[in-house]
Structure 1
Amino acid sequence: MGHSLGAGTVTQRELIGRTITVLALVILAWFLVWLVVQVTEVLVLLLVSGILASGLAPLVRLLQRWRIPGGMRFSRSVAIFALYLVLFCVFLLILSIILIPAVNETGRFVQQLPQLLTRLRPMLTELHGRQPWLPDLAGTLDRLPSMVSNLSRFGPQAANVAFRFLGGLTAVITVLVFTFYMLLEGADIKRGMVALFPPAERSRVSTVLDRIGTKFGGWLRAQLLLSLSVAVPVTAGLYLLGMPYPFLLGIIAGIGELIPMVGPTLGASVAILVALSQQTWQLFGVIVFYVIVLNVEPHILVPRIMSQVVGMSPILTLAALLTGIKLLGILGGLLAVPVAAALQV
């Protein structure tokens, strides 16, 4: 006995076989989705490592071409070690030149924070009286001392914070190790991936992988360029305005540039909060300065740098950011642009 299907006939055994095949495919698809969800953290680490490796690969090749005394050249492993050493020295240099003054400024800011809050309270009370629809920020300031004192009651959470810090440190070390081996064995990894495809497609797949690496490296350089393009002018502008903590606020602005959508606004909010304790002309100058920065950054800097370095349109960049933030939060927004750029290839 059979079931008719179009012009042909399907036996009951064939129907059962096809049903089992479909169910098996559905179960396999579900298992693959479950597996991806379970290893999302590892996949993110691999993606970050791949982006770093793509950005550092040109520097490794440059070191390999550089002749040392005696006419010898660096091997690839030595070139990678040398690059890591140079980057570590640059990190220490930045630490000594910028971060140490910033830490000192942070200490002074924390010491002066009670005075700042005292000066802000009458201003916020008057503002709330004139505009009752605004939140009672003065009441929030009054509750800050008790909120700070309550932090001492959360001693057991210190272990949780320590574990999170160690987890973050482990992730950083893992990324550095992954990046090292990707730089060292990048050609072998690429050959292994290309070998998974039919011979007729391998040339095209190899070209696509090269373009993806170029996109990843371009995005990394674009992010660093954007951070510097914001941090340096902000530091200089706040210094010229006579603001305290210009190094600290400049670093906050540069780091904020790495946080999609909300980072620049948070940096501006911190600077304006500090400016509230200064003279009126300084507060006005800081507000005008950040209005300019917050308009130049998304409308001129980001589209121009991303389009020239990464080759993505502003609309696609914004759509990728929103999608990434929706899926994985801030980290998703940070990684969304390079992934979207790779999918463009």
Structure 2
Amino acid sequence: METQSKKVEISTSIVLKTIVILLGVWFLFLVRDIIILLFIAVIIAASIDPAVDYLQKKKVPRSAGAMLIYVILFSILALIISFMVPSIVNQFHDFSQNSSQYFGDFGGAINSSQNSGINRIIQGIANNIESSFTNISKNIFSKTLGVFSGLLSVVVVFSMAFYMVMEESGIKKFIVSIMPEKNKTYAASLTDRIEGKIGKWMLGQLFLMLVIFVLDFIGLYLVGVPYPLLLAIFAGILEVVPYVGPIISAVPGIILGFLVSPTVGMLAFVVYLIAQQFESHVVIPLTMKKAVGLNPVVTIVAILIGFKLAGVLGAIISVPAATAVSLVVNDLMEK
């Protein structure tokens, strides 16, 4: 009887723990958007924390140092936007005016294809893209609400990051405060390592985006591809998604190049290829390998999982999240 009683108690305990874990996972899934915003705030805080630490050593209060970094960053961003926006607007307006012609030429080229199955598939894709540009002015109200929601999220993220940085070791103190007493020491050590890797990843990622933007803009401009500024910005933004982003960003530039002439299309392909080879063999080894150190397969799987769970934002933060998880897994394997 006593043995049966113990079995019942153990079974009940396991069932209850399983239920609690499942409820916790379900709750985290429900609030995943909030968790993503919090994680982005941690990434930003980890990126600017070293600069704030440096200013603190120079007798600048942390709150003033964090505010100074924000002012510098947003001033640089505003300066860049003021120079680039007129060209971006002109190129986008020109592209929207000529989109029907471009997609018509693309459809005509496809119609000459010998393979009717591929013809129908690609023609359908071209029609969908063209209809997207045609209907871009619809649903203005919902799009406006989306813009305001996005701006609110940006304000919330930068506000959280500011308060994390304002207090010395703010990120670590926050993480440690929610951990059980027996795990506080390990949590502090783990947070320091994760914060260091995420900070390096963020700075390295910004550098990669800048390099790809500059290389693609110069290359596409020189070979005569239309709208080089828009295409370069598109490539720079998608650089935040490893492996997949560069492939996607190359497609519109190559298509536009072939619509000009086969020679320009091939040259556009060469431009993207050279930029990616330079990034893979020169820039990434210098900036990202030590910061992240993830296997390419693990990185791709993490991106797919992130995209499935939270869309584009999930894909963007999947790499630093996977880096943090890999540190925990390595610690568990060593025990």
Q: Pick the TM interval, shorter chain.
A: 0.7 to 0.9
In the alignment, is the contact (CA less than 8 A) between 2:175 and 2:191 conserved in 1?
no
TM-score (structure 2 length as normaliser)? 0.83
Q: Which residue of 2 aligns with 1:49?
A: 41
In the alignment, is the contact (CA less than 8 A) between 1:54 and 1:213 conserved in 2?
yes
Distance, in Å, in 1 between the alignment partners of 2:34 and 2:135 is 37
Deviation by residue 1:283-305 (Cα, 9 ceiling, x = unmatched): 22112222333455456654663
After superposition, residues 1-345 of structure 1 pair within 5 angstroms as: 2=1, 9-10=2-3, 12=5, 17-66=9-58, 73-126=59-112, 128=113, 130-136=114-120, 137=122, 157-188=139-170, 190-191=172-173, 193-194=175-176, 196-198=179-181, 202-297=184-279, 301-302=283-284, 305-345=287-327
Pair 1:231–1:141, CA change in 2 (3 A): closer
**How big is the alpha-carbon RMSD for the aligned residues of Structure 1 and Structure 2?**
3.0
The count of aligned residue pairs is 325
Pair 1:192–1:159, CA change in 2 (3 A): closer
What SS does structure 2 have at the residue aligned with 1:87? helix
Shift of 1:310: 2.9
What SS does structure 1 have at the residue aligned with 2:259? coil
In the alignment, is the contact (CA less than 8 A) between 1:120 and 1:276 conserved in 2?
no
Distance, in Å, in 2 between the alignment partners of 1:218 and 1:318 is 20
What SS does structure 1 have at the residue aligned with 2:157? helix
In the alignment, is the contact (CA less than 8 A) between 1:321 and 1:336 conserved in 2?
yes
Distance, in Å, in 1 between the alignment partners of 2:127 and 2:311 is 32
Shift of 1:228: 1.3
Distance, in Å, in 2 between the alignment partners of 1:147 and 1:189 is 42
Distance, in Å, in 2 between the alignment partners of 1:337 and 1:143 is 31
What SS does structure 1 have at the residue aligned with 2:119? coil
Shift of 1:257: 0.9
Shift of 1:266: 2.5
- The one-letter amino acid paired with 2:93 is G
In terms of Rg, which structure is larger?
1
Name stretches of at least 5 consecutive residues in structure 1 with no aligned partner. Answer: 3-8, 67-72
What SS does structure 1 have at the residue aligned with 2:3? strand
Shift of 1:176: 0.8
Moved more, 47-56 or 166-175: 166-175
Pair 1:193–1:110, CA change in 2 (3 A): closer
Pair 1:193–1:287, CA change in 2 (3 A): closer
- The one-letter amino acid paired with 1:227 is M
- The one-letter amino acid paired with 2:51 is L
Deviation by residue 1:205-251 (Cα, 9 ceiling, x = unmatched): 32221111101101111211211121110011112213332222111
- The one-letter amino acid paired with 1:10 is T
Distance, in Å, in 1 between the alignment partners of 2:73 and 2:130 is 42
Distance, in Å, in 1 between the alignment partners of 2:11 and 2:45 is 45
In the alignment, is the contact (CA less than 8 A) between 1:119 and 1:277 conserved in 2?
yes
- The one-letter amino acid paired with 2:141 is A
What SS does structure 2 have at the residue aligned with 1:309? coil
What SS does structure 1 have at the residue aligned with 2:240? coil
In the alignment, is the contact (CA less than 8 A) between 1:306 and 1:312 conserved in 2?
no
Sequence identity, in percent? 29
What SS does structure 1 have at the residue aligned with 2:294? coil
Distance, in Å, in 2 between the alignment partners of 1:23 and 1:144 is 51
TM-score (structure 1 length as normaliser)? 0.81
What SS does structure 1 have at the residue aligned with 2:225? coil
Shift of 1:132: 2.3
Name stretches of at least 5 consecutive residues in structure 2 with no aligned partner. Answer: 328-335
